[in-house]
Amino acid sequence: MLNIKKTCLTVAVLLVLPAALLAQAPDQAAPAAKLNPHMESHIGTLVGHSEDGAKLYYRYCWGCHGARGNGDGENAPWVTPTPRNFDAAVFKCRSTATGYLPTDEDLYNSIYRGFVTSNMPSWKALTSQNRADLVAFIKTFSARWVTERPGEPINVPPEPKLTIEGIKHGHQLFQKLECWKCHGEAGRGDGPSASTLTDSNDQPIKPYNFYTGYRFKCGTTNHDLYKIFMTGVDGTPMPSFADVIKPEEAWDLVHYLRTLQIWHPSPELALWESTPEGKAIVEAKRVRNTFTASGIHP
């Protein structure tokens, strides 16, 4: 509830900023925009233009992300985690390998989707063209968009048939890769390293809680989850596992992680609960949650 209130407050502030401040913002951002002031974005058949995106940015975005796009907007001190610094051009949600710039479509999807557990709302109320224009303007803030090309999207192989053996193998990978050190044995985000984690801005960062979460920072589908740990989440302690596990193994890990979402119905959870072993584990977790919510810790 607190995050919802903070998000609404942030959006409201952006919408009612005095016209005088909005008029000044483009001039303040001029030094950054000169890096490459006439950028375009290409999302399918859409072509975005930075000149049009600038108008939208200084209406909706600069209050958090700053007039120069470096994350120091007037609202930034009250926003956790801190707003994205477009000058650094380090983005969490990508279809490209770690360390590479995202594609235009990656940025477009982020604007459309927003980010769960943050104050960045979904901007799906904007038109598709608006979002494409915003992507083009965001790219004017960093020299990386002048000197580098976006990486190639990683190949995501077809999802294999769901099996109990695959889920069990996914659990073995969860242990072998030491995912539990951050995410916890039950996926609650309470592993032994969880309290020590920081992002690239030295801000504390919490591991994802599969136990209560229903969507991920970078999407909602199995396909999205696959990409998250095969590309890594740049700017955070979440690494890429592309060089550590095989593509088919990654799908087993995806299927196991879904079973940790015991309050979110899924084919993976249903199959896991159809076995005596899986049913006992899931029921024990639900009982533990009921006791914990009552202030009792069995």
Inter-helix orientation angle 247-259/164-176, to 10°: 100
CB under 8 Å, gap of 24 or more: what pairs does 3-11 form?
Answer: 3/117, 3/118, 3/119, 6/78, 6/79, 6/119, 7/119, 7/121, 10/63, 10/64, 10/75, 10/79, 10/119, 10/121, 11/121
Mean pLDDT by runs of 10 across the 298 residues of the chain is 44 39 42 64 96 95 93 90 91 94 97 89 95 97 93 95 97 96 94 93 89 86 94 92 92 96 93 93 77 41
Residue 265 backbone zone (phi > 0: left; psi -120 to 50: alpha; other: beta): beta
The whole-number pLDDT of residue 192 equals: 96
Which tens digit of pLDDT belongs to each residue from 214-270? 788 898 999 999 999 899 999 899 999 999 999 989 999 999 999 999 989 999 999
**Spatial distance between the Cα atoms of 127 and 130, rounded to a whole number of angstroms:** 5
CA–CA distance, 18 with 34 (Å, rounded to integer): 26
* Domains of the chain in sequence order: 2-147 (1.10.760), 164-293 (1.10.760.10)
Q: Are 21 and 103 in contact, with CB atoms under 8 Å apart?
A: no
The token pair that represents 276 in the structure block: 């005596």
CB atoms under 10 Å from CB of 172, counted, come to 13
Distances 164 to 28, 94, 122, 156, 248 between C-alpha atoms, Å: 58, 30, 36, 22, 15
10 Å CB burial of residue 289 (0-12, 13-18, 19+) is: middle
Q: How many helices (H) and strands (E) does the chain have?
A: 14, 2
Within 8 A by CB and 6+ apart from 288, the residues are 298
Instruction: Give the pLDDT score at 23.
Output: 38
How many alpha carbons fall within 13 Å on the CB side of residue 114?
Answer: 16
Residue 184 contacts residue 191 (beta carbons within 8 Å):
yes
Q: Which one, of 150, 118, 132, lies nearest residue 11 by Cα? A: 118
Spatial contact of 162 and 273, defined as CB atoms under 8 Å apart: no
In the chain, DSSP assigns E strands to: 40-43, 46-49
8 A C-beta contact, residue 212 and residue 204: no
